[in-house]
Structure 1
């Protein structure tokens, strides 16, 4: 295992290498593969980019995200303005059934609620609003209401895992519970592989919730 000091330095190098992040006010600590990011950035997009950059570094098993968004004075918007912009951008996005969604904004933090048929629509809604300037964070509370009740959900997921070259499907256990809840467990080598497993689970029709218990080892 990479030692803590080396891991911290590698993450700092990756943050400084990432052009979309001003890492001058970000501090990093590492302990046994658990990384904590602290400090502040000037927008929410930088906060997300910093976390993605940290995940790219080999040896990272978990991240505690404590970066604060401190908006410059000229970038601050009223909650009413942010809410209007969020509704507009959701209306413009062809992947999002905006008539099914609700937007709430409090001190710059957007909360999305509602129900959609597919998880990709849920993800698309969050992706759309987190691009907005003046926001401090996004909570995606949109529920997925499956339009199909598939009896072979588990087979669909296992088949999808086998199609992913980066995933060793025999190391992953899939359990199907009531109401479209899927639990995935097992062991993978890195974060990208863990994400591939979760994407495979979400891609099966009839899935409403994915409990990702897959460990990085």
Structure 2
């Protein structure tokens, strides 16, 4: 049975995801399997690099009708045996230190070809910058970003400020998004038309100087 998600069946979504993967230059679509269940896309198979894995996930999220991604793609690179853990550790440390928007408080732990980032930063963009700095390095198969934000002082108008930021954003319909602030934590609910809009709403919430956690429970509808 083919389940319908909005106006698209799971079979339609599967075909569209496969076509989008094939249209993505960074991805060898032949090595990736696609299964769809009620709009949830499961990706499987092997790619040659971590950036290719990320590109495959982003490609699937671009497709209309996709509600969530299960990423079971693994990385198998030709240079895995020639690049040692020590080599990776040196390159990761160099990359982090050369990024002007990544504080020295960010530390990296290397285990095989997997990287775990820890430490505390002031802003979410710094946390994301740390991951971007290392995810394209040769030999890196996975990045686990555990960097946290430094403690924030709560203010009574934080909720309204975030609503105002969402309202200013030309990509968002503020009437479909609900913002609730409890202490330093923000919960976003409601509906948007795309994953790009969902990320924009989350970015607006993270931009608050009084937020240490964002729970994005917005649904993507088509």
Q: Please classify the TM superposition score into its range, dividing by the shorter chain length.
A: over 0.9
Q: State the TM-score, normalized to the length of structure 1.
A: 0.94
Distance change >3 Å, CA 84–CA 3, structure 1 → 2: same
Assess if the C-alpha contact under 8 Å between 1:75 and 1:133 holds in 2.
no
Say if 2:192 is the partner of 1:201. no
Assess if the C-alpha contact under 8 Å between 2:80 and 2:139 holds in 1.
no
Could you tell me which of 184, 190, 195 is aligned with 2:188?
Answer: 184
Q: State the TM-score, normalized to the length of structure 2.
A: 0.92
Unaligned runs of 5+ in 1: none
Q: Which residue of structure 1 aligns with residue 26 of structure 2?
A: 20
Q: Which residue of structure 1 aligns with residue 176 of structure 2?
A: 171
CA RMSD of aligned residues (A): 1.4
Say if 2:89 is the partner of 1:83. yes
Assess if the C-alpha contact under 8 Å between 1:146 and 1:205 holds in 2.
no
Distance 1:106 1:74 in 2: 13
Aligned residues: 215
Could you tell me which of 118, 123, 128 is aligned with 1:123?
Answer: 128
Structure number with the higher helix fraction is 1
Q: How does 1:103-142 map to 2 (within 5 A)?
A: 103-142=108-147
Distance change >3 Å, CA 76–CA 44, structure 1 → 2: farther
Could you tell me which of 26, 35, 38 is aligned with 2:44?
Answer: 38
SS of residue paired to 2:53: helix
Give the C-alpha shift of residue 166 in structure 1. 2.2
